[in-house]
Chains A and B, each alone.
Chain A
């Protein structure tokens, strides 16, 4: 087949060392260069995009230096403490348009920095632009501490004193003492969270089930509730016990405070219980910065999000994405493969099958939002609503399955990706020489045996490719999910310790939707942008890895047929 790899270089141009422009244009070579430019543009776009995301996403976790800057502008002089979040330069004209009074401009364009000054509660706004030429002095105080708080973002300041129950503690090494106490607070907080998440949530869940049981009985006309009431009071007793221990932990948590001096010279008190992490970037070595970097990335991947998704980790979104994709592939694989086997091995090849094939191909091109609309109307309202009517009468009027949820999202995406699996599997089946099938049949195998022992094993890489491509498509799809089950903030993961463990009716979080929601619905865009880049990077990595796997599998598959044919 491949008798040539590419067209040979123009013979007319080969002989000479130099050509006249006219001759060169007549040869058509400039147009070839232009078409090469198109490829170049595509490469630049893709590589540039991925590099941009990787760079912005990864840079976010590096512990940036904290600068103490003495700054003066037209009105005032003040001290700023913070990280440089962004650098840019603007034209002198533009600058002078807004600052007509500023006459002592250095030559060239005006450089500006966006400073992340944190301390949101006391020192708004937490991001501000400064003009570099107005900086009086800039130092890096080695004692400057960055506190990542569980609310209100970062705080920057130097430690003034440590307090225990309101009393100042006299220690020499404030820093290590502070770290020790923060450690204590965070382990206490962990215990409290565990208690809340595991035990108390479980009791609430059981109480809710009891209520539903009672309601179910009432619907059947049975008003006997004595046994349920005893169970309920037992649970409430247990609940109160947990409440008690929670309160005790809470009291312990309130013990310590740290007083810091912030940029404007005033003192500010931070409760140790509110501190998630703390570090002193200005006195960290490269190695310890790297260690901090790795642990921040780890936290990003494994922790819950805070502050309406604008801080903390993305674990629930990552978890939701993966779970939904797994469910979807469990649904899509058998159906896609069966449909392909039917079309290729069982259906009579004729006009109808050709039409169906065109329809299947077309479905791959139908906009995903259309699937979302279909999923919402058909799965959620029609099927889900019917399930509620039949089996979840007791929970009404609150819908159980008649509302967007995990199962409906998975089903919708399965429908969206089923053409991908069908097309890919069919392609694999087509490539298997019919001689192999005929040989198997001639040896006395039944059609089913031929299918399972000869055809399917040979087509399996093609199926796998199809499934992987389907997964890659599903992982990146957001539009339909917005209608059938993804939410900004899910109160609990779809898998937990309560029976039946996997809750198909729950709403879930998703990386793609996280990007849309945090990037476009948050009030403080400057603060969240790096976080969105990091999330985007994670999503891109997942999808690239899946696609590369599919491509590698396909290459292996091609090699395999070559063997089979020889």
Chain B
């Protein structure tokens, strides 16, 4: 329809209306289509930040003598930098200009060493010159005075300003949980004293501890460092000269035991130092060749122990490794002062290089890991770090990963936990597996029923019945999936669990019964048979109901017949096949989601079969083929592309269905193709986790990624189906 026609004497208003309509329709039409493109683009746009590498840039450089600084920390919003000095004081500086805000004396005697009080933030334990330990916390309180925001800096010396006398020691470490404080002291002779203080409260003095002593291990105790491990239950002893270590189980103070004795040593290079990653479930071990190994704590045989799982290679030897406070990320600094940002889980490495000019005396991440504070002898450099999503890489999303505390590498989806030190596990494989499993079983149920039904409806059914069946199937397609899911989860699942044997027999008994009935009809006079023909579908209904009911009602009889001595099918499965039966399993999904998919496959397949040109059918029949032969060799062959596209579209629906899977499985992300176990699919996972996900976090973006993957899968399946269908239409036109 060309628009280039000219009408004479068109009144102005008519011209205006005409062109206005044209522009509105154009703009509106293109906008709607643009919106469709937008969906895909937007989903990808949210995912993009995960793919970007981290970046680091120098923010400020302050010339400042840092003599005597032992430790550096900052507040959450990076407004205050606190330096802990050897003279026993804490100095708080403004992060903008390094002006001194407060100078607070913690201890009259000088500090020898300062360590963070594991696992707390901004809380420290210091060893003084007088061989006492002092615990203190740096607090930054935000106050609004006359609506003006101010930060109040304060140092609380814990336990009522008490100093614990420890005598002369080589090393120490401390752990604090809600009501417990554990202090370990490495004595000069190499033995270790473990003190456990109970009923601890910040404001009150410590009670008398329960103490125990662990025998010496290293011949040269001077070279040993000690460190309390995860949850205060483990104690690491590391010989810093050769990398030998000992792991002691100190879960109970009364009975400590050596769990593992091993070494971080390598054959061709020499051990330099080991740094624990956040949570202390793992160590980063550096050698003198630029290699950093990641060792994790996990089960080895019957015991727990460290094992090496991955290696980071750097061009030059690494001198320092510092850790982020809330993620498993780290910064490795080589001897020329170049820093590499990395992450243990994702093995992301060498992605970002930051030039620090030389190895700083002290360096630390800010709590949110958005700044780096590098302290040289005469200056403090502050770097801005943009590293939002280090946890993900191609491997963590799709490959097997060695996680902390795991026996071996695994595909795991476990996105969150209450614990800050938790290592998020973002493998998409269990979810992909679950989606495929659910779709597979649903298709297993739906495909034969839908296609056989479509064949019968298109080829053999009487027109009156067809007029009823088609709208009936359309209504079936419109059944809300939330209702199917509810019935499946709350009604069908308990029913099937109780009648498992009978349900399995339903595959056998009703079809055989129908065949028997069908044969009996051949005994009828042909006139009656001819009038029945075309109503077979309706005739089977009462038969199916009867047979189905009989099978279900005699479940116990069947069970005792088949599974003699095992009680019922469930017990048999467990005792003979070793299969656990979940009440909400893939069988339920197969049936419920099959029911949701049947009408979709049915409609498209029926259209394709019904559309096969008549003269082909007539030709075949005229040549003496039976009608079943005609169907199989002529009609189905011609319609096969249409049937294929019906299956594709049905599969697309099954892969992305949410509510049925959400309600009728246990939603456990396991990788087991067993019919009697559940699964977690992409779609259900989004529905479960999206509402709790923090906007802009890695978890949030990964959920968007799963939506994007889901979109791509279905878009691909549908496009294939649509192209095949359009070709088929053209072919029918030619025939």
Residues in chain A within 8 A of chain B (CB atoms): 3-10, 12-19, 21, 24, 26-46, 49, 52-53, 91, 93, 109, 334-336, 338-339, 341-343, 345-347, 356, 358-363, 365-374, 376-378, 381, 415, 418, 422, 434, 437, 441, 444, 446-449, 451-452, 472-473, 475-479, 482-483, 512-513, 515-516, 519-520, 525, 529, 532, 536, 539-540, 543-544, 546-548, 551
Contacts and interface: CB of A to CB of B under 8 A. Distances in A.
B486 A516 contact: yes
Interface of B: 1, 3, 5, 7, 10, 14-15, 17-18, 20-22, 24-26, 28-33, 35-36, 38-39, 42-43, 46, 448-453, 455-457, 459-463, 469, 471-476, 478-487, 489-491, 510-511, 514-515, 518-519, 522-523, 525-526, 529-530, 533-534, 536-541, 543-545, 548, 556, 567, 595, 598, 602, 614, 617-618, 621, 626-632, 649, 652-653, 655-659, 662-663, 683, 686-687, 690-691, 695, 703-704, 707, 710-711, 714-715, 717-719, 722-723, 726
B523 A18 contact: yes
A37 B46 contact: no
Given A13-B526, A33-B514, A515-B486, A40 B595 contact: no
A303 B391 CA distance: 49
A448 B18 contact: yes
Contacts of A335: 28, 31-32
Contact of A91 (B472, B556, B614): B556
Contact of A516 (B1, B482, B626): B482
B25 A345 contact: yes
Given A339-B29, A547-B474, A447 B545 contact: no
A147 B537 CA distance: 49
A477 B683 CA distance: 14
11 contacts: A6-B460, A10-B626, A13-B529, A14-B526, A35-B452, A46-B475, A369-B707, A373-B686, A373-B690, A377-B46, A532-B486
Contacts of B726: 358
B511 to A, nearest CB: 6
Given A446-B15, A483-B691, 13 more contacts: A7-B617, A18-B522, A29-B518, A35-B460, A41-B449, A44-B545, A109-B556, A358-B719, A377-B704, A446-B17, A447-B22, A513-B482, A540-B479
B490 A519 contact: yes
Contacts of A38: 448-453, 456
Contacts of B519: 21, 24, 30
Nearest to A42: B453
The 4 closest A-B pairs by CB, nearest first: A28-B628, A367-B656, A342-B29, A476-B480
B545 A479 contact: no
B29 A451 contact: no
A6 B28 contact: no
Contacts of B658: 367-369, 478-479
A345 B60 CA distance: 63
Nearest to A336: B32
B489 A519 contact: yes
Chain B CB count within 10 A is highest, among A356, A374, A451, A544, for: A374
A439 B715 CA distance: 41
A17 B523 contact: yes
A472 B478 contact: yes
A179 to B, nearest CB: 36
B29 A343 contact: yes
A455 to B, nearest CB: 11
Contact of B707 (A8, A17, A374, A449): A374
B456 A543 contact: no
Chain A CB count within 10 A is highest, among B485, B533, B602, for: B533
Given A341-B25, A479-B683, A525-B490, A39 B456 contact: yes
Contacts, number: 364
Contacts of B703: 373
Contacts of A12: 626
Chain A CB count within 10 A is highest, among B22, B484, B567, for: B22
A338 to B, nearest CB: 4
B29 A544 contact: no
A516 B476 contact: no
Contact of B471 (A366, A374, A529, A551): A551
A21 B520 CA distance: 10
Chain A CB count within 10 A is highest, among B21, B459, B649, for: B21
Contacts of A478: 480-482, 658-659
Given A39-B469, A376-B690, A361 B718 contact: yes
A373 B710 CA distance: 11
Contacts of B15: 446
Nearest to A478: B482
Contact of B544 (A41, A346, A356, A434): A41
Contact of B472 (A46, A415, A451, A512): A46
Nearest to A520: B663
B123 to A, nearest CB: 29
A53 B656 CA distance: 25
Chain A CB count within 10 A is highest, among B15, B450, B483, B489, for: B483
Main secondary structure of the interface of A (DSSP, over half): helix
Contact of A479 (B595, B628, B687): B687
B542 to A, nearest CB: 9
Contacts of B614: 3-4
Contact of A7 (B478, B621, B662, B695): B621
A391 to B, nearest CB: 20
Contacts of A444: 7
A17 B456 contact: no
B486 A37 contact: no
B684 to A, nearest CB: 8
B486 A369 contact: no
A28 B628 CA distance: 5
Nearest to B435: A367
A6 B489 contact: no
Given A477-B480, A519-B663, A334 B28 contact: yes
Contacts of A91: 556
A181 B13 CA distance: 71
Given A365-B652, A525-B490, A19 B711 contact: no
B587 to A, nearest CB: 15
Nearest to B7: A444
A368 B630 CA distance: 40
B480 A475 contact: yes
Contacts of B28: 334-335, 338-339, 342
B506 to A, nearest CB: 10
Given A29-B518, A551-B471, A39 B457 contact: yes
Given A5-B462, A374-B39, A366 B479 contact: no
A28 B482 contact: no
A449 B530 CA distance: 55
Contact of B460 (A32, A515, A520): A32
Nearest to A444: B7
Contact of B683 (A10, A29, A367): A367
A11 B198 CA distance: 94
A336 B39 CA distance: 16
Given A14-B526, A53-B483, A367 B456 contact: no
B691 A434 contact: no
A342 B30 contact: yes
B480 A512 contact: yes
Contacts of B626: 10, 12, 26-28
Chain A CB count within 10 A is highest, among B17, B473, B617, B718, for: B718
Contacts of A452: 21
B36 A363 contact: yes
Contacts of B462: 5-6
Contacts of A338: 24-25, 28-29, 32
Contact of B456 (A32, A374, A446, A529): A32
